[in-house]
Amino acid sequence: MRSGFKSIETKYMEEREALFHRLRDLDRRSFLKMSAAAMGAAAASGLTPFHSFQPVSVAQGAAPAGGGKAFRFAYISDSHLYEKHINDRFVRSLLRAVEDVNNLSPQPDFVFYGGDLAQLGQAKELELGAQILKNIEVPLKMMVGEHDWYLDMGEKWRELFGAPTYSWDHKGIHFVTLLSVVERDFWTARKMTPMQRMMTVAGLDNGVQSPFMVGEEQRDWLKKDLAGYLDDTPIIIFSHSPLYKLYKKWNFWTDDADEVQAILKRFQRVVVIHGHTHQLLTNRIGDIHFHGMLATAWPWPYAPEGMPELTIEMSRPDPFNPNDGCGDGEVHVHPDGLVDKVYSLWNRTPIAVRRGHTASWGKEDVPPRPNRASY
């Protein structure tokens, strides 16, 4: 590894660790107490304890391709858990997201977790995440992020959550989860330890790691998986990194995105939902509609170039509020497979980026501008 070089993420990590070392442990009993207090307050007031997600009316008139029904799922991502003696704030953020989704009424059909559950892929980080996510009351679907994987190459993640690449059908939609953070082997020739490999991948702009990709093996799997579906089947793909090329220096990028998009090209309606960028992103390439979702841990700044035209950037985080810019969200799936993305910055009113915005290439249903400058 190059010595003396510190990536922006490493610098962030060090600053955060210095801060959180000063915090005392928050033990399991405190979590439960906080949780119970919030639930009690909600029951007493008849309100949900934190923000309530605003219901988004589902437009009528869209012809269902597969005879599906409108439904919604919730989305939580990028919690970057350290062991709680190092950092309890990220733990509490994930706990809050779990409470948010458990307070949705009616409950979503499922919750999707968008990757980067752990910070450094350690068994204790992943176990802590699994323990918290067990409190979700509806089915949970999991996806891998690079921070979960590169210490033991996914051994612990698979033990806890199963296969990283899979698909299923739900109410007329075909869903696919990919592992989009495959990297070429940069570690063997450099004789890196597993932790050196993990730290290198965790630093987005260190110039050592390879760009993320889906890789040939999964692309072949995807072709086979989709082979039996007609062109008018609505497809929703989950990837951790955006399945397009946004900004390579920060790995806001999937190197074989063009090849994956080519596999999806024959379908009339495809939605790709990703985490990793810790910010709101909206994009459309051909008939593929892309939605980037929030992190619970921290917001990344927007990349200095390559921003998709359909993106209306979210508000700049308030520097006096460590949780500003963080949150969770919902995805309302229309019968035709296109979606309304509802993002809930925790101290702001939830905002919807509706189906019509990407369907009209930004001409209709323009989402409200944020109440502060973007970042």
The span of 37-45, 190-198, 269-277, 363-371 binding Fe ion (CB under 5 A) equals: 269-277
Q: Which run of H or E residues covers position 71?
A: strand 71-76
Q: Is 9 in the site for Fe ion (CB under 5 A)?
A: no
Phi-psi region of 240 (alpha: psi -120 to 50; beta: other; left: phi over 0): alpha
Contact between 276 and Fe ion by CB under 5 A: the answer reads yes
Nearer to Fe ion, 121 or 337 (CB): 121
For Fe ion, the closer CB: 255 or 336: 255
- Using CB under 5 A as the binding rule, whether residue 255 contacts Fe ion is answered as no
Distance (Å, whole) CA 349 – CA 271: 25
From candidates 9, 99, 116, 328, binder to Fe ion by CB under 5 A: 116
Q: Which span sits near Fe ion by CB under 5 A: 19-27, 139-147, 164-172, 309-317? A: 139-147
| Shorter beta-carbon distance to Fe ion: residue 59 or 94 | 94
b/e per residue, 343-356, with b = 16+ CB within 10 A?
bbbbbbebbbbbbe
Q: Which of 78, 99, 100, 340 binds Fe ion (CB under 5 A)?
A: 78
Identity of the residue, 78 or 255, whose beta carbon is nearer to Fe ion in the bound complex: 78
Single out the residue of 55, 93, 97, 48 nearest to residue 75, CA to CA. 97
Give the three-state DSSP class for 315.
strand
Q: 148: which 2 tokens?
A: 């979960």
- For Fe ion, the closer of residues 125 and 146 by Cβ is 146
Q: Identify the H or E element spanning 281.
A: strand 281-285
User: To which H or E segment does residue 130 belong?
Assistant: helix 123-133
Work out the angle at residue 224's Cα, subtended by the Cα atoms of residues 140 and 282, and round it to the nearest 5 degrees: 55
Q: Quick one: 117 or 351, whose CB is closer to Fe ion? A: 117
**Which residue number, 276 or 289, has a Cβ lying nearer to Fe ion?**
276
| Cβ atoms within 10 Å of 152's Cβ, excluding its own | 18
* Residue 77 CB, nearest approach to Fe ion (Å): 7
At its nearest, how many Å lie between Fe ion and the CB of residue 115?
Answer: 6
Distances in whole angstroms, Cα of residue 305 to Cα of each of 250, 302, 355: 11, 8, 25
Stretch that binds Fe ion, among 110-118, 162-170, 312-320, 360-368 (CB under 5 A): 110-118
For Fe ion, the binding residues (CB under 5 A) are: 78, 116, 145-146, 276
